[in-house]
Amino acid sequence: MQLGRRQPLRPCDGSSRSRLLRPPRSSVATASPSTSNAEAQHEPRFKAHIDFKYIKDNVDALVKNAKDRSSNADPKLVAELYDRYVLLKMEADGIRAERNENSGAMKVHAKLGVCPCGHRFSGMK
């Protein structure tokens, strides 16, 4: 087989006639309409589940394991990044809670027709 040449499509009915040719079924995309065929083919079929708490709690054993396997894995960095992630997530959750509280207060004031500073207005319609 020469490089750069495509293999011809086979007839869909299995005969040697070449009237109606279809691509193989495996090339049909099952992804959402917004993704292209190329993107759909390269998406992983599963996501790895990593127990970051286990890594954080057993850093020393995992560092030794990585060293014994001659791996360039860095469990200490994973644990550090996980700690940073947890702190940022807690901060984002706090900000989201403040936003929701503020939104609820604004709805109450809008129903009453009074803004937080005391000015009256027409309220919600």
Q: Which domain holds residue 98?
A: 50-125
Task: Report the C-alpha gap between 18 and 14 in whole angstroms.
Answer: 9
- Does 44 reside within a domain? no
Domain membership of residue 32 (yes or no) is no
* pLDDT class of 14 with cuts at 50, 70, 90: low
- Is residue 60 in some structural domain? yes
Number of domains in the chain: 1
Q: What is the pLDDT of residues 62-81, one digit of tens each?
A: 999 999 999 999 999 999 99
Is 68 domain-assigned? Answer: yes
Q: Is residue 3 part of a domain?
A: no
Which pLDDT tens digit goes with each residue over 112-125? 777 767 777 665 55
pLDDT at 28: 47
In a domain, 30, yes or no: no
DSSP per-residue letters across 80-96 = HHHHHHHHHHHHHHHHH
Chain CA centroid to CA 7, Å: 36
